[in-house]
Amino acid sequence: MSIRFLAGAAVAGVLSASAAGATMMPPPAPAPASMSDAATSGPSRAHGAYFRDAFNFDAPGWRGVVGRWRVKDGTLFSQGMSGRFSSVAHVGTYDDFDYEVRMNRIGNSDGAAPNCLIVRGNAGRVRDDLWLPGYYFCYTNNGKALVVAFDARGNRRELMDYTPVKEIGTGGGYRTVRLQTLGSSFFFSVNGTEIGAFKDDLARSGQVGVGFYVEPGKRGSLAMDYANLGPLKPTRQATAGR
């Protein structure tokens, strides 16, 4: 098993099968307004505190999983490694939440390599750079989206193959990536545009984080401007149900 399945067109055939047990849902109602930078507050329903991290001076609660991560120029930053999927995790564990990250992928060859929010994962169990289990909600700098999950044994489940999304845009620059979860329901958006809504029962809680892939022989980095995690709004809870 290798993270190279995430690299894009060269391995698109790997993702051609539909995911057993995963179903697409109709587009949900518009998401509530984005969270703004603020101090950490309030307990979650799981085993961590909600957070609103601007990374101005430090990165409380964040730990590098693969690669070196550090605070740089008001961002949580990593210089990626060739042929590797670098990732960073928050120490808390969460079940239902609203998770939003503003991040900028720099250096991405033809733009096909993915940049991902990772949720309901186990950053303490990593194989071939993958958290096992873990959900990966990704966008690429060539304007595509991808959703894939791995179970605790490393088995792969594709919830959505690489799909062009006009609103993602192409090239570098900051993008706001958001994921809302409630029970088995997931709502994925980039730059305020709903990418897809899914139902899947692989995992109901776990850690959250961010990761990105650098193709062999290439260079790339990722900068996180902020990362916020809080409770779902009542409107989203009503939309998703359980």
CA–CA separation, 176 vs 37, rounded Å?
13
pLDDT tens digits for range 179-218:
999 999 999 999 999 999 999 999 999 999 999 999 999 9
Q: Residue 165 has what DSSP assignment? A: -
Q: Whats the size of the chain, residue-wise? A: 242
Residue type, 139: Y
**pLDDT value of position 7:** 46
Bridge partner list, 62: 90
79 burial type by CB count under 10 A (0-12 exposed, 13-18 middle, 19+ buried): middle
pLDDT tens digits for range 4-39:
445 443 322 222 233 333 433 333 333 333 322 222
Give me the sheet containing 85-90, strands edge to edge. Answer: 62-66, 85-90, 207-213, 114-121, 134-140, 144-150, 156-164
Task: Please tell me whether residue 103 adopts helix, strand or coil conformation.
Answer: strand
CA–CA separation, 242 vs 204, rounded Å?
11
List the chain domain ranges: 3-15+43-240
Using only C-alpha atoms, what is the Rg of the chain? Answer: 16
**pLDDT value of position 234:** 74
**What is the CATH number assigned to the segment(s) 3-15+43-240?**
2.60.120.560
